[in-house]
Chain A
Amino acid sequence: MKDFNPVQLATPIFIVTIILEIVLARLGKAKANYEARDTAVSLGMGLFSGAAGLLTAGLVVASTLWVYEHRLFEIPMTAIWAWAAIFLLEDLTYYWFHRLSHERRFWWAAHVNHHTSQHYNLSTALRQTWTGGVAGTWALWLPLAFLGFPPAMIAIQKGISLVYQYWIHTEAIRRMPKWFEAVFNTPSHHRVHHARNPRYLDSNYAGILIIWDRLFGTFQPELDEEPCRYGTVKNLATFNILRVAFHEWIGMAADVVRHPRHALGYIFGRPGWSHDGSRDTSVTLKAAWRQQQARAAPEPEAGT
């Protein structure tokens, strides 16, 4: 049980389903776009993200074990209620990890990788960061160990969440049944999360359950009248995997060197924050979009 690794077990499924998505799209039976260089970057990021994770794995494991030694409660790995509890708590942790990763540049620098593709297909799911360990967001899962969830149980649930989030990276599935869309994260909800349209920015941070976005006010449904345009606000103009992996870290360091007095803002401000307001953030982009909408559609006249 302790060796149970959902991501490793799912790898053959990743490969087969990507083949299936490509072939079905080629036959005109499913909606999917693949561009070879984009696919190479996505899969390359996925391939080496595991190796990059090994660099900090020792620290993560040691910290988790240390916290677990000082746990509050004894939680048995064999109890159903314990799995139900960790399912909810891990997913809640994921929501806040993901939201932090979008709202503060330091963590965005690690997470942006996942969003750099202008495509949205199953290969995009595997475009995983190389610098998540360095960014330190794994610390957000330590409270689960402090509560008393065994580290192996936490690792397994994290793996289950990652595998769940794989299948939703597709345009081939339009909508799931209504009840499913209401409770779970779906291809439709996550497409919105990957979209760069101003109205879609900063929404749908869910891992498995979309209920957290509904609860915390970040839910945005996919609208038929506004097709998703994928990527980041400033799309990359390169397929160089090293630039893809490190560009935001380098950009952040350059800003800090250039404006040391504003270092905190450039590190912990919103992505796009600048000391003179010369750059756009998701907040300014959304505001400009709202203004534009208001101008384009003036208040309807009374009586019509």
Chain B
Amino acid sequence: MDKAYLIQLAASTAAVSVLVGLAAWAKIARPVGPLNLARAQELLSEEFPGRSLDQVWVATDGAGALARSGGMALVLCRVGDGFAARQIPWAQAVSSSFRNGRLRIDLSDISAPVATISLPSWPPKDLAA
């Protein structure tokens, strides 16, 4: 690798840092308030059109939600100022590790490895059969 190329790379890296810093300073992310039930339902039906939402649990910090849809669990989690959604078998969601009020769901997806959802308890006691 020649010197000119390395200098160019260093200058570009510096420029990138400045731009990222500026973006953080500007505070111009999308306003994304904590989820409530209505918003969670809206987002879930946007992500999974036509699917039933048998029961929905919204994270206590509003940063995610979990829904049961037949044999599947629909998972919604906040990513930056947006959301990402995945589905996994319901049984897998039920047996996810729950510690200190946080449910850690293994999504088994390279582009969405885990979702962490804060809940008062898990598995839910009022589980519909």
A18-26, A79-87, A94-102, A137-145: which lies at the interface: A18-26
What are 23 A-B residue pairs whose CB atoms fall within 8 Å in the complex? A15-B19, A23-B22, A26-B26, A26-B28, A33-B28, A33-B30, A34-B29, A35-B30, A35-B80, A35-B81, A36-B23, A37-B80, A118-B79, A118-B81, A234-B109, A235-B83, A235-B84, A237-B77, A237-B109, A243-B110, A244-B111, A251-B110, A288-B50
**CB of A11 within 8 A of chain B?**
yes
Q: Contact partner of B20 among A43, A251, A254, CB < 8 A? A: A43
- In the complex, A18 Cα to B113 Cα: how many Å? 31
Distance in Å from the Cβ of A91 to the closest Cβ of chain B?
A: 28
State the majority secondary structure of interface residues on A.
helix
Task: Let me know if B112 and A234 touch, CB within 8 A.
Answer: yes
**CB of B93 within 8 A of chain A?**
no
- When distances are taken between beta carbons in the complex, the residues of chain A under 8 Å from B86 are 234, 237
**CB of A203 within 8 A of chain B?**
no
Q: Contact partner of B16 among A23, A35, A47, A198, CB < 8 A? A: A47
- When distances are taken between beta carbons in the complex, the residues of chain B under 8 Å from A185 are none
Task: Let me know if B20 and A36 touch, CB within 8 A.
Answer: yes
Given contact pairs A22-B22, A26-B28, enumerate 18 new A-B contacts (beta carbons under 8 Å).
Answer: A11-B12, A19-B19, A32-B28, A33-B28, A33-B30, A34-B26, A36-B20, A37-B80, A38-B81, A39-B20, A43-B20, A123-B23, A237-B77, A237-B109, A239-B79, A243-B113, A248-B111, A288-B50
Task: Let me know if B84 and A236 touch, CB within 8 A.
Answer: yes
**CB of A304 within 8 A of chain B?**
no
Q: Contact partner of A34 among B13, B28, B79, B83, CB < 8 A? A: B28
Interface residue tally on B, bucketed by range: 20 to 34
Residue of B nearest to A250 (CB): B110
**CB of A247 within 8 A of chain B?**
yes
- In the complex, A213 Cα to B67 Cα: how many Å? 39
Interface 1/0s, chain B 93-129, versus A by CB < 8 A? Answer: 0000000000000010111110100000000000000
B interface with A by C-beta (< 8 Å):
9, 12-13, 15-16, 19-20, 22-24, 26-30, 46, 49-50, 77, 79-86, 107, 109-113, 115
Distance in Å from the Cβ of B114 to the closest Cβ of chain A?
A: 8
- When distances are taken between beta carbons in the complex, the residues of chain A under 8 Å from B109 are 234, 237, 251
Distance in Å from the Cβ of B12 to the closest Cβ of chain A?
A: 5
Distance in Å from the Cβ of B15 to the closest Cβ of chain A?
A: 5
- When distances are taken between beta carbons in the complex, the residues of chain B under 8 Å from A26 are 26-28
- When distances are taken between beta carbons in the complex, the residues of chain A under 8 Å from B113 are 237-238, 243
Residue of B nearest to A27 (CB): B26
**CB of A134 within 8 A of chain B?**
no
**CB of A51 within 8 A of chain B?**
yes
- In the complex, A289 Cα to B9 Cα: how many Å? 45
> Which of B12, B20, B22: most chain A Cβ within 10 A?
B20
* Number of A positions contacting B (CB below 8 A): 43
Interface 1/0s, chain A 227-259, versus B by CB < 8 A? Answer: 001010011111100011011101100100000
Residue of B nearest to A31 (CB): B28
Segment 72-115 of A: residues with Cβ below 8 Å from B: none
Task: Let me know if A15 and B23 touch, CB within 8 A.
Answer: no
> Which of A33, A123, A239, A254: most chain B Cβ within 10 A?
A33
- When distances are taken between beta carbons in the complex, the residues of chain A under 8 Å from B83 are 235
The verdict on A19 contacting B111 (CB below 8 Å), with A47-B16, A118-B79 known, is no
The verdict on A237 contacting B107 (CB below 8 Å), with A32-B28, A47-B16 known, is yes
Distance in Å from the Cβ of B110 to the closest Cβ of chain A?
A: 5
- In the complex, A235 Cα to B43 Cα: how many Å? 13
